[in-house]
Amino acid sequence: MTMGQRHMAGDRSWSSDRRGQEESKPLLERLQEMLGALPGIGPKSAERIAHHLLAASREEVFELADALRAVKEKLKRCSRCCVPTEAETCFTCLDTRRDSGLLCVVEQPRDQAAFERMGAYRGLYHILHGRLSPLEGVGPDKLTIDQLITRVRGGEVREVILATNPTLEGDGTSLYIAGLLGHMNVRITRLARGIPAGSVLEFANSQMLADAMDGRNTF
């Protein structure tokens, strides 16, 4: 056996041992670890949820398990906007009452949900499923930017609203997309920023004030 073969065999043995250790853990401990790995859930919350599930009826727990399995097995990305949906095309994209000339670009499906709760936007969406982050290895090929360009080239879109998060990565993503769309006959806008309604100027930080000044409107 060569050195490389011994190394590969060692890796497989280590991986097998690790799986064996995970499987040998007490079931409740494994459940708490898996729950604790979810975003926003710390060790204490994971412990409470685990014991809640332990005390719940079999029907409730199995119903939850079925829902989790169905999400992974049946949901897919909408062929147009890339939002998770059970059908080939989501209800929003099929809604003829919406303005198909307005396209709001967001990072995640939860961002679209936030706009929908607002109830004031009647255009369509495009979900990027992330934002550019070179340090994390997320490049344009990991996002749905190509699908976005294809939609805009279709000629129906007259305005693209870049609604990525106001972060370094979000701004970089919007800048990159704006560069790709710059030569197309489409208006490119960015969400306004500044002083929140009902707030007081003395409590605003310098970046909020600068954004408000740059984005001022005619009164």
What is the pLDDT, as a whole number, of residue 10? 56
SS (H, E, C) the chain: CCHHHHHHHHHHHHHHHHHHHHHHCCHHHHHHHHHHCCCCCCHHHHHHHHHHHHHCCHHHHHHHHHHHHHHHHHCEECCCCCCEECCCCCHHHHCCCCEEEEEEEECCHHHHHHHHHHCCCCEEEEECCCCCEHHHCECHHHCCHHHHHHHHHCCCCCEEEECCCCCHHHHHHHHHHHHHHCCCCCEEEECCCCCCCCCCHHHCCHHHHHHHHHCCCCC
What is the pLDDT, as a whole number, of residue 31? 93
Question: Could you tell me if residue 69 is inside a domain?
Answer: no
Question: Could you tell me if residue 34 is inside a domain?
Answer: no
Question: Could you tell me if residue 156 is inside a domain?
Answer: yes
Domain containing residue 129: 98-191
Mean pLDDT of each 10-residue bin along the chain, 219 residues long: 53 55 75 93 95 95 95 94 95 96 96 92 96 94 96 94 93 96 93 82 81 77
Q: CA dihedral defined by 136, 138, 139, 142, rounded to 10 degrees?
A: 160
Question: Could you tell me if residue 133 is inside a domain?
Answer: yes
Q: How many domains does the chain have?
A: 1
Question: Could you tell me if residue 216 is inside a domain?
Answer: no
CATH of the domain at 141: 3.40.1360.10
